[in-house]
């Protein structure tokens, strides 16, 4: 396999809608993405392993499926996950969905970072189905990311989708690139926030949101 001669094929394979809906290996001769699996096999060899030994024989297939799932946000849009679940509602009181678990991959080392998202918004004539808030988080988390960008993308998507009076997003996450390598600080926590609309302009609104997160 002349992998060096096929750089364009790699891009096509990664972003052509391929998606690992079933992460399990079902049959002995299953092939999911032969090009990506070939690259992973080369990595194993480069690390000094034998891809043909029993414990690693299906690893390229499993890793290809896992990477496809963990980066599925590239082929998913906010409109896809919201799916018209926006409803007319005269309420203008704050809505908060907190402790939304998320998992992402750091774009610098491709190691996981994970944590919880806390999201609030002030409706202006319409509300969104609560599960859709979590799904919007996943659209952007399932990409190669940095936490700062992820926080802003979630806030901007909700502002565009709902056109509310304001949106607030706080993310708390642990990063394996700090825990497993580098400074190796296992208990470190990174907190980022993005405030839009009234949450940014009005200190009392922002304080109410942050206070409610403590409960």
Active site positions, annotated: 106-109, 147, 175, 177
DSSP-derived pairing of the beta strands 126-128 and 190-197: unpaired
Residues near 125 by beta carbon (within 8 Å), at least 6 away in sequence: 88, 89, 90
Six-digit token string for 87:
């409803």
Q: Is the dihedral of CA 80, 82, 83, 88 positive or negative?
A: negative
CA distances from 110 to 43, 52, 142, 145, 177 (A): 14, 25, 12, 9, 8
**Distance between CA atoms of residues 84 and 147, nearest Å:** 28
Residues near 193 by beta carbon (within 8 Å), at least 6 away in sequence: 151, 168, 169, 170, 171
Q: What's 24's DSSP letter?
A: S
Residue 200: is it exposed, middle or buried by C-beta count within 10 angstroms (0-12/13-18/19+)? Answer: middle
Residue 62: is it exposed, middle or buried by C-beta count within 10 angstroms (0-12/13-18/19+)? Answer: middle
């Amino acid at each position: 396999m002349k992998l060096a001669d096929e750089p364009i094929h790699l891009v096509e394979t990664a972003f052509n809608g391929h998606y690992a809906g079933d992460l399990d290996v079902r049959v002995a001769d299953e092939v999911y993405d032969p090009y990506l699996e070939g690259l992973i096999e080369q990595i194993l060899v480069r690390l000094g392993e034998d891809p043909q030994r029993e414990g690693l024989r299906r690893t390229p297939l499993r890793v290809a499926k896992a990477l496809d799932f963990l980066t599925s946000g590239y082929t998913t849009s906010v409109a896809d996950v919201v799916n018209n679940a926006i409803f007319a509602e005269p309420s203008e009181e704050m809505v908060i969905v907190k402790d939304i678990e998320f998992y992402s991959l750091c774009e610098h080392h491709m190691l996981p970072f994970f944590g919880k998202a806390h999201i609030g918004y002030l409706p202006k004539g319409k509300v969104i189905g609560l599960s859709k808030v979590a799904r919007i988080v996943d659209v952007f988390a399932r990409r190669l990311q940095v936490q700062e960008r992820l926080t802003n993308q979630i806030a901007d998507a909700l502002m565009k989708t709902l056109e509310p009076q304001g949106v607030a997003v706080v993310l708390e996450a642990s990063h394996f690139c700090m825990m497993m390598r580098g400074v190796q600080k296992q208990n470190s926590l990174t907190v980022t926030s993005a405030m839009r609309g009234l949450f940014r302009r009005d200190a009392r609104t922002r304080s109410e949101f942050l206070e409610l997160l403590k409960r």
